[in-house]
Amino acid sequence: MKPLIDNGKSTVPVVSSVPNPGLIPLKASISKNEPDLDSSNNQIALTEAIRPAPTVAVSNLTVYRQSGVSATFDIVLGSPFDQPISLYCYTTNGSARAPGDYSSVSKPLTFPPGAISAKFPVVIRDNGLVESNIVFYLIVSVSPSAAPIATASCTLINDNYYSFSVANISLTADPNGMTDAVFYVKLSGSNYTTATVDYFTRDGNAVSGIDYLGKAGTIVFPTGVITGSVSIPVYPFADSVPVKSFYLDLANPVNAVLGVPGATASILRPNLIIGSSQLLLDGLFYLTVNGALVQNYFLFASTNLVDWSPISNLVAANQPAPVFDPGASNYPSRFYRIGH
């Protein structure tokens, strides 16, 4: 190695690599082609203390998968050092893969003298897919080619979900016994894992324990299942109200979100009979209703089974009476129900 000459002094840089820490003896000698009048200063020997690799701990992370956010690892030394400590940190794929799920990083990290902690950020990316939680790893070593001295994981929590919805229903009460009001709850797509949603009934003008049996519970959607149902027992009508209603509400979704979080069950009296219906040549939709005497009924219409508007009415006379929707031809599809 060529020495560095400065005012008659020679400086020789020495780079050593040793497998184990400890006290390492170092020797160096120098010579020249000309006669040497003083050979006593041609050699030097000293002992260098090689420190062991630092003890390092790295935190595991869990973050929501959103583009632009950073997963920031905390890297902590077991004890402070009186000299700068340089480590090498790099990410590796697990079920999460760079560059689609995160931006890979590979670079040194230096701790100033006395420092024992440092931050190491990794930028997260979101491909917008509804999928399972995924993982990548951070590796810490003393150099790019050295064995790892610490490893940590980062779990990316899915932040894209399918949604739950429930549709309105109507049924005619059985005068002689119980009838089931069956709500159908749907998931908007086939989920990557089990999804659940809680449900509970809520009174309208129908009262739990009198008009129907109130219930609460949880619907479980195993992987790949997109439809579930809730059956609510309905009692025979206890009074002369022609139409009664109660509600089913959804709450606390897991691995999904709430799209349409509630629905209405309309319970019709047995003497409210809905007869034939058809779309006439002039574009009008009509149906026939046979209801209680001198009871005012409305025909409600909806395009989404959520928002209902009254569009026509009649006073029942215990005989079939027509009810019309004059704007039926203005919609590609429309839903109807009878109320009061």
Query: Average pLDDT per run of 10 along the chain, which is 340 residues long?
Result: 56 62 72 71 73 84 88 93 91 94 95 93 87 91 92 90 91 84 93 90 94 96 93 84 88 91 86 58 61 62 76 59 70 71
Contact 94, 135 (CB under 8 A): yes
Task: Count how many residues are written for the chain.
Answer: 340
CA 329 to chain centre: 42
CA distance 117 to 59: 11
Identify the pLDDT of residue 95: 92
Contact 65, 124 (CB under 8 A): yes
Please report, as a single letter, which amino acid is at residue 245.
Answer: S
Identify the pLDDT of residue 324: 67
Q: Is 41 helix (H, G, I), strand (E, B) or coil?
A: helix
Query: First CA to last CA across the chain, in angstroms?
Result: 101
Evaluate whether 56-157 and 163-268 have a shared fold: yes
CA distance 204 to 211: 10
Neighbours of 15 (CB within 10 A): 5
Picking from 253, 326, 336, the residue whose alpha carbon sits closest to that of residue 300 is 336
CA distance 87 to 190: 45
Neighbours of 48 (CB within 10 A): 12
Structure-token pair, residue 165: 């919805």
CA distance 310 to 287: 14
CA distance 47 to 61: 43
Exposed e or buried b per residue across 266-275, where buried means at least 16 C-beta atoms within 10 angstroms of its C-beta: bbbbebbebe
Contact 252, 199 (CB under 8 A): no
> What topology does CATH give the domain 163-268?
Immunoglobulin-like (2.60.40)
Q: Is 295 helix (H, G, I), strand (E, B) or coil?
A: coil
Q: Are strands 117-123 and 285-290 parallel, antiparallel or unpaired?
A: unpaired
Q: 56-157: CATH homologous superfamily?
A: CalX-beta domain (2.60.40.2030)
CA distance 90 to 66: 21
Identify the pLDDT of residue 247: 96
Contact 122, 102 (CB under 8 A): yes
Exposed e or buried b per residue across 87-123, where buried means at least 16 C-beta atoms within 10 angstroms of its C-beta: bbbbbeeeebeeeebbeeeeeeeebeeeeeebebebe
Structure-token pair, residue 261: 């979080």
Picking from 18, 155, 154, 147, the residue whose alpha carbon sits closest to that of residue 88 is 147
Q: What are phi and psi of 40, to 5 degrees?
A: -75, -20
Q: Is 262 helix (H, G, I), strand (E, B) or coil?
A: strand
Dihedral sign, Cα of residue 319, residue 296, residue 239, residue 173: positive
Please report, as a single letter, which amino acid is at residue 296.
Answer: N
Identify the pLDDT of residue 25: 77
Q: Where are the domains of the chain?
A: 4-50, 56-157, 163-268, 273-339
